[in-house]
Amino acid sequence: MATPGTSLFDIAIRSYAAEHEPDRHPFAQLVLPVAGEVRLNVDIQGTQGGRIDPLHCAFVPVGAWHTQSSRVFNRSLILDIDETALSHAVWERLHDRPFAALDPAARKLVEFMQLLTEQKTLQPAHLDGWVPLLLDTLALGPHLPQPRSRLAALLAQVGADPGRPWTTESMAQCARLSVSRLHVLFREEQGTTPHAWLLQQRIDLACRWLAGSDRAIAEVALAAGFSEQSALTRAMRQALDITPAAYRRRAASGETASIPQ
């Protein structure tokens, strides 16, 4: 937590392994994944659990027992919030929704802070200006009119089975959009291209199988939508700087969280 007198907030980038000891602390936390997914259990009037990813975040109240775990490569921005800051009437609403979706505005704020944190150019003044904007966005979001996502059905369908022979054209056809419109919506809603998003879904799926099964790597590659094992290897080297075999070894030894991005 930040040193008293400097800021009510502190932030760091962390990764989580398959097992994590229960923890609690005298400040609140926001867990904001920027890569992969994390399973988070929060004890609030009975255990609440959910999976969070770059489109979803979690709020951990002051003193609440919680555990985080993941079997895939993951990185999250962890925002510590002094309990005195949460006396703000609007921000108290976060207690009612420990798991929340990140709308495009919130994701842009997270991306900005991720960049400052990774470049080690973050100053206390940045946090003091950024955190209220983020908390307002998260607390007020569900109470403001939200445009219906044109990609929701497509993301759900592809995400459920990314190993199918999807192409940008077939994704556009599924969403009943032109290819050019599909690119525009992906840039607006996801901040990336359809191909890059699909590739990440396939890498995540492959990582889950590598960590949680004994399927042959070549079989994992094909099932996850890659043309061959070497294509999966190239994709994981570029995205995670690791090969499938090395990822499986680290996952087996509980070191998955230490894999660099």
Please give the mean pLDDT across all residues of the chain.
84
Eight-class DSSP state of 254: T
List for the chain the helix, strand, coil content (%; round to 5): 45, 20, 35
Q: Which residue in this structure is represented by tokens 């962390």?
A: 14
Q: What angle, rounded to 10 degrees, do the helices at 244-252 and 229-240 form? A: 70
Question: Over 60: is that where the pLDDT of 145 sits?
Answer: no
Place of tokens 């996952």: 251
Of residues 161 and 47, more confidence is placed in 161
168-192, pLDDT tens digit by residue? 999 999 888 999 999 999 988 888 9
Q: Do 199 and 232 form a contact (C-beta atoms < 8 A)?
A: no
Q: Match 């109240």 to its residue by tokens.
A: 61
Residue 40: HSE in the Cβ half-sphere, 13 Å Cα cutoff: 29
Q: Compute the average pLDDT of residues 2-22.
A: 74
pLDDT band, very low/low/confident/very high, at 246 (cuts 50, 70, 90): very high
| Cα–Cα distances in angstroms (integers) from residue 62 to residues 79, 87, 253, in the given order | 13, 12, 32
Residue in 219, 214, 220, 212 with CA at minimum distance from that of residue 251: 212
